[in-house]
Copies of this chain bind each other. A is one copy, B any other.
Amino acid sequence: MVESGGQDAILVVGSLGFDDIETPFGRANHVLGGSTVYFSAAASLFAPVRVVSVVGTDMPLESFDFLRARGVDLAGLQVAEGKTFHWAGRYDYDMNSRETLATDLNVYADFHPRLPAGYEDSQHVFLANIHPSLQREILGQARRPRLTVMDTMNLWIEQERDALLETMHGVDMVSLNEEEARELSGTSSLVAAARYILSLGPRVVLIKKGENGCVMITPEGYFMAPAYPLEEVYDPTGAGDSFAGGFLGYLAGAPDLSDENLRRAVVYGSAVASFTVERFSVDRLRDLTRAEVDERYAEFRRLTYFEAL
């Protein structure tokens, strides 16, 4: 385990649970899921990670041994009487859209995130996709972090817009997908959508486009990265959260948050996500190594590089 102060530590708050996943390539039942597990598995390849989440008494805690072995601190993992969060979803051949078949909040319904002692100095915070009010509770407990990133989803855009905008106003960066960006901004133009989101407070917007890569928008300009060309995407679940893990993981160890380093972080995020979707659940992330991620980073450069005039 990497011991450290909060200098390069990353705090993540989000869901942990069991997933049932169906894709054109097969199905996986009762597998480990939730934004936090994908994020932690990815980010822990780069930096120490601290988890705040909740599971029920039905979750075998050995499930997280592979994370502990990578230095993930689980002191903030609450175990509550009852059943663990459960999600079931189905993907069609168009892996960019999915159908949710079931969402059972279970112990998640009464969850309030609390930072355990020693977590307050975490310099990097990832607010995974949970209710925007819970995201703000965490922001209130962290001590002047260097970088805060939040994810969100259509549910909060549609039903909790005011709370969402208030949370957005307090973070450095917002990560969301193409449809969410359009819905939030009420425009079909991604350029206009990005400008709108920047006007809400964040200084960086990351728009995820699935197999079409992603776009990072800052006041300085755009950076566009493709998705890695895979023969097949077996299971897109967790692509976004493991992207965030690679992104924040790289930045946690970077000397500054320059545009150059933000770009590198986007490519690291894309590289990790490209492994995630190669297998079901977090299976590919369990034994993924930093060396493999670095090799894929180099491949991304070969994929996109061209000479100046």
| For the complex of A and B, 9 pairs with smallest distance between CB atoms | A224-B226, A212-B212, A263-B306, A191-B231, A93-B188, A224-B303, A304-B304, A191-B229, A222-B229
**A302 touching B212, Cβ below 8 Å:** no
**B93 touching A303, Cβ below 8 Å:** no
Contact with B along A237-270 (1 / 0, CB 8 A): 0000000000000000000000010011011000
Among the stretches A115-123, A157-165, A293-301, the one at the interface with B is A293-301
Nearest chain-B residue to A306 (Cβ)? B263
A240–B79 Cα distance when bound, in Å, is 56
Can you report 10 residue pairs joining A to B where beta carbons are below 8 Å apart? Answer: A191-B231, A213-B224, A221-B302, A222-B229, A223-B306, A225-B304, A260-B307, A264-B307, A294-B309, A304-B306
Task: For A93, list chain B residues within 8 Å (CB).
Answer: 188
Given contacts A212-B212, A298-B309, A309-B298, are A303 and B222 in contact (CB under 8 A)? yes
A223–B307 Cα distance when bound, in Å, is 12
* Residue with the greatest number of chain B CB neighbours at <10 A, chosen from A226, A303, A308: A226
A212–B190 Cα distance when bound, in Å, is 12
**B224 touching A304, Cβ below 8 Å:** yes
Nearest chain-B residue to A224 (Cβ)? B226
Given contacts A226-B226, A229-B191, are A307 and B263 in contact (CB under 8 A)? yes
